Amino acid sequence: MICIGNALRPISWVFVTSTYQSGQLVEVGWYRAGFYDLIAVIFSGFTYKINDILYLLFVGGMYGLLSHAESYKRIVKKVSNVVREHGEIAFLLITFIVGLYTAISSNIITLFVLVPFIMTVFLKGGYDKLTAVAASFGGLFLGYIGQITGTYGND
């Protein structure tokens, strides 16, 4: 009888594993992992980041509610008109400001509050989805790559 855990064991010899011990990343080497280990890693990662997951779900829910408010629609319309008139300058300015804040604060998760707003403004301004994603996530990731103060996990 073949167990699913045994079916996954040969692929576990392809990857080198590591673990954190006393704040240091220590390489374990080749580790034979089974089906249970795969489930345990997913569960461990989910429980480790549950606060970030709940935060992002909360932000999405709040923007879902906010998108029905007339005052929010007026703000988006005014800002999207500015973006429509000064497209390239607005794109560069928003990306630079978000990237600079991310590089200085080294906390990318707090700026995810702005992502739906920036994407909505660029989409309402007549830009395509790729430009909206680049304007919102581009500055976040560029700032995260060029961090000045440290890493997100060690603050």
Share of the chain above pLDDT 90, in %: 8
What is the pLDDT at residue 3? 42
pLDDT greater at residue 65 or residue 107: 65
What is the pLDDT at residue 126? 87
What is the pLDDT at residue 77? 92
**Whether 34 contacts 7, CB under 8 Å:** no
Does residue 107 carry a pLDDT above 80? no
Does residue 2 carry a pLDDT above 70? no
Could you tell me the two tokens for 123? Answer: 């989409």
Q: How confident is the model at residue 8 (pLDDT cuts 50, 70, 90)?
A: very low
What is the pLDDT at residue 152? 53
Does residue 4 carry a pLDDT above 60? no
Residues 52-66: what's their mean pLDDT? 89
DSSP string, 10-72: HHHTTSEEEEEETTEEEEEEE----HHHHHHHHHHHHHHTHHHHHHHHHHHHHHHHHTT-HHH
**Whether 149 contacts 102, CB under 8 Å:** no
Could you tell me the two tokens for 59? Answer: 């932000």
Measured distance CA(38)–CA(8) in Å, rounded:
9
Measured distance CA(126)–CA(112) in Å, rounded:
22
